[in-house]
Every structure is written in C-alpha cells, then in structure tokens.
A and B are shown apart, each in its own frame.
Chain A
C-alpha cells in the first residue's frame, strides 16, 4: 500500500530490547525503516540535525544514559519542528505517576514492555499499524496506556 517505508526511530540503551523491536518490525507487512539511538543525547542530536527528516513515529525508553526519556520528550514538545512527532514511551515499569507525567508532557501512547516475546511483538506491530493509519488524535487518559487488541490481525 505504502510505497515509502515507515520511518521509525527507537531510542533504547538495551541491546536486547533493540533486537526484539527489530524482529517485531521485520514480521510486519508494512515496509519500515528503523533507526536506533542508544541514549537520549544521541537521539536529540539526530532529530535536531537539519539533514534528518522528521520520522513517522518515535519509540522512547525512559531510563537511558546521559539524557533520559522525560528530558527528550520535553525537548521534542517545545521544538517547533518536532512537536507534532508521535512519541510512544515504553518502559519496563508501570507506575501511575510516571504515566500521568508523560501524558501531561504530550506523549502519544505509553506501553509497558511485555515480558512474553509474542506479546512484545504484537504490541509493537499493532501500535505501528495504528499510528501509520493516522490514529494520532489528542490522547485521552483512557486511550493513553496502549493495550493490545486480541482480535486484531496484522
């Protein structure tokens, strides 16, 4: 359908997670192009670079060296060029306070990294499909924490 591959950026310092993410994308029907950044500082340098085209979506880990996910999100949302970029925050921990803070700071979705690999892949795949179809409305607190829909075929 889409001739142009989806431009997806992943910022995560965990190599295992990066591999899982890449595997999830590779199984998708939609063509994707993944760029990974191992810390927040590298991510922001990449996004701010004039030669960088604004990606279709960003998956952001919270706990990263040098610059954490909160700082990156804040910088993205005050940046004229980047503030429309859909940001999906994903973290190993679910903490309501953290979720509230991210919601207020303008993230599009929050996902908790599932421990099962098939669930992990499913979540990533559904979210990528969802966002690629233009489902990026102003999030509500109900829709902010993304939950996989069982019947959905990718």
Chain B
C-alpha cells in the first residue's frame, strides 16, 4: 500500500514539476517581451513605424498570451483529469498488482502442478507401455488359454463320458463284488461242508472197505453151506424129487454160484483200493504170459489166438496190471463171435501225449499206450462209458455169465496208475480198449 502511495505521489510530483517548469517558461517569455519592448521604445523614433507594428505584434502576443492562459487553464483541467485518471489507474494498478500476485501465485501453482503432471504423465506413459507389452503378453497368453480351454473342454467332455462309463462299471463292479461276496461266503460254506464231507467220506470209505472185505469173507461161509446142502439133497433124494423141484434145486445151485462170483468180484474190487501199490518197471510180455497161462483152457475152447509181440515195458503195479489184462482178455474171449475164431491183438508203445488222439492226455507228458483189440461181438458205441460202471451189463446173465464188475475193476486199476481208458466199438465189429499210463509216476 505504501508503495502504491509513493508511486502515486511521485507521479503527482512529476506533474507539478512540469507545471512549474511551464510557469517559469512563461515568466521568462514575459521578461523577454519586456526587454524587447524597451529596445523598441528606444528605437521609437527611429522606428515609429516599426513601433506601430510592434504594438500590433504586441497585441498579437497579448492575444497569444491569453490563448496560452486559456490553454494553461485547459491543461490544469486536463491535469486534474489526469490526476483522477492517475488515481484510478493507481487503484486499478493496485488491483492488478493483487490480481497479478494472485495470478503469479496461481501460475506458480500451475507450474508446479504442470511439473507434477509432466512427471505423472511420464509415469503414465511408462505404465502405458508396460501395460501395452503386458496386454500383448496377455493376448498371447489368452490365445493359449483359449486353446487350452478348448482342449480342456473336449477333455472334460471325454472325461464326463469316461466318468459315466466308470460310474457304470463301478456299479457293475459293486454289484459283482456284492455277488462275489455272497458267492464267496457260499463257497466258504460249501468248502467247509465239503471238507467235513471229505472227512466223513474218508471214514465212511474205510468203514465200507472193511465192511466189504469182512462181509465178503463171512458171506462165503453160509453160501458154501447152501451149496453143500443142495448137493446132498440132489444126490440123496434124486429119485424122490419131482422134475420141477429138481429144476428148482439146480436154479438154486446156479444162484448160489452167482453169489459166489459176486462176492469174489466185490472182494477183488475192494482190494484194488486197499492194497499197497508199488510201481515197478515191468515187461508187459511177462504179465501177458502169466495171463495167457491162466486162461489157457478158455483160449483152447474158443480156438482163440492172442498176438502180443509188440509189447514193451511200463511203470505199473504188476499184480494189479495182471488183473487188468486178465479181465480185458477174458472179456474179449467171453464176448467173442461164435462164428469167427477169436483173435486178440495186444500192443504197446511209448509216446508224448500230443501224439495220441485223446483230449484227456497232457500234450507234453509221456505215456505208455496199451491197446487190446478183439474181433468179437462188440457193442453199440453209446455204451462206451457205461460198460465201465459197476454192475452195468449189456447182456442178460443167462446169455453171458458175469457180475458187471470186471470192467469197473479195469477202470479202477487204470485210475490207480493215473491213466485213462477208452473203449471203442461198433456192434459185431469187435472192440478196442485203449489204455494210457504215464511213464513217470
């Protein structure tokens, strides 16, 4: 404020000095005019003419002086006006100064702000660039993700299908597992039952064998007595007996004889299981010779020829095998064709199981194959299994005497040797029995 006053005063002083100068000028001018006037009065006589002219000039000058006064007055007014204007301008200047300061302040602020903005701008630019490169990277990553997404979607679809399948399988397995658990329990139960049953069977079997053996022996006794008494009556009362009762007594003898045979056969059958088994490498020819000697009479009666030249050895229980061969050969003789001389061919060979046409044999195991072939009456092929069962007969006992145990004994002996036996035949075309016995026990 003081500053402003000072400047205003200064302006006013300048204006006053100006006015004083002008006044001085004016006085000087008046002074000059007085000098000039005196010179003129001095020159009056000489210059009367000139004086008149000067008076005119003087008047003129007075007029000019007046004019100048007027002008000065006007200048004064103008000065006042200027002072006022000056004052106004001072005020205005003051206001402007304030405004200026404010502007200056604002300017500084703006500059600061601008500087800050410049920095912020740079920062933003940098960030922008960063973001752009980031965006680029993200673009690539995005594409990758889109691809992966698709892959995952198709994988997911596959997995859904697979999952369904698994759920189904799982259920199936669950069901199956449940079934198996039940089946398992059932099997465990059955197993236990079977073990019990097996133990029972072992005992029962022992008892049965003992029973068969003892009873067979004991049964022989009363049977022998019946046969003896029948013979006595037939001899002593032959004259007194009616023909029909003679016949009855003969039938009684026959029945007793059949019982004798049954007991003998059952005894033989039970012995096969109980007797000790000792395997020996045996020449089959030796066994054949023994059997041939035993059956000598029947062979002669039937006019039979037995060919047994191609015989090797076998690992067998000799006494059992003798029984086997005896039963087979006596069977062949029994069921011979009465119209043709009986011919029996016996052969043996050792080969791998695969060489033989029998599915029961292990391909890589070695077997001794013994075959007994005859040209007898044979049998229908449908009986090829049944003939090996106990008491199974194809003919009535009046036609062919027998108990139906012979071939059951044969089969049992073969099984004791871990072997197999098959029978092949057609009615009236002979029969062939094939025996396969492993060469190692």
Contacts and interface: CB of A to CB of B under 8 A. Distances in A.
Given A63-B391, A66-B383, A16 B255 contact: yes
17 contacts: A13-B396, A13-B397, A14-B397, A15-B396, A15-B398, A16-B251, A16-B255, A38-B396, A39-B396, A63-B391, A65-B392, A65-B393, A65-B394, A65-B395, A65-B396, A66-B393, A66-B394
Interface in A15-69: 15-16, 38-39, 63, 65-66
Contacts of B396: 13, 15, 38-39, 65
A118 to B, nearest CB: 15
Taking chain A's interface residues, is the majority helix, strand, or loop, or is none over half, making it mixed? loop
A13 B397 CA distance: 8
Cβ-closest 4 pairs across A and B: A65-B393, A13-B396, A38-B396, A65-B394
A39 B255 CA distance: 19
Interface size range on B against A: 10 to 19
Interface string B377-410: 0000001000000011111111000000000000
A108 B418 CA distance: 45
Contacts of B394: 65-66
B423 to A, nearest CB: 15
Contacts of B251: 16
B51 to A, nearest CB: 196
Interface of B: 251, 255, 383, 391-398
Contacts, number: 18
Given A16-B251, A38-B396, 16 more contacts: A13-B396, A13-B397, A14-B397, A15-B396, A15-B398, A16-B255, A39-B396, A63-B391, A65-B392, A65-B393, A65-B394, A65-B395, A65-B396, A66-B383, A66-B393, A66-B394
Contacts of A13: 396-397
A14 B255 CA distance: 10
Nearest to B379: A66
A63 B251 CA distance: 20
Interface of A: 13-16, 38-39, 63, 65-66
Nearest to B400: A65
Contacts of A39: 396
Contacts of A63: 391
Contacts of A15: 396, 398
A39 B404 CA distance: 15
A150 to B, nearest CB: 27
A140 B22 CA distance: 176
Nearest to B382: A66
B379 to A, nearest CB: 9
A39 B393 CA distance: 10
A16 B250 CA distance: 11
Contacts of B395: 65
B357 to A, nearest CB: 28
B46 to A, nearest CB: 201
B3 to A, nearest CB: 145
A38 B393 CA distance: 12
Nearest to B392: A65
Pick the most buried of B394, B395, B396, B398: most chain A CB atoms within 10 A of its CB.
B396
Nearest to A42: B396
Nearest to B251: A16
Contacts of B391: 63
Nearest to A63: B391
A114 to B, nearest CB: 16
A3 to B, nearest CB: 32
A13 B391 CA distance: 13
Nearest to B398: A15
A38 B399 CA distance: 11
A65 B391 CA distance: 9
A65 B396 CA distance: 6
Contacts of A38: 396
Contacts of A66: 383, 393-394
Nearest to A14: B397
Contacts of B383: 66
Contacts of B392: 65
A40 to B, nearest CB: 11
Nearest to A15: B398
A20 B398 CA distance: 16
A13 B411 CA distance: 25
B289 to A, nearest CB: 34
A63 B403 CA distance: 12
Nearest to A66: B394
B332 to A, nearest CB: 19
Contacts of A14: 397
A65 B404 CA distance: 9
B426 to A, nearest CB: 16
A92 B255 CA distance: 14
Contacts of B397: 13-14
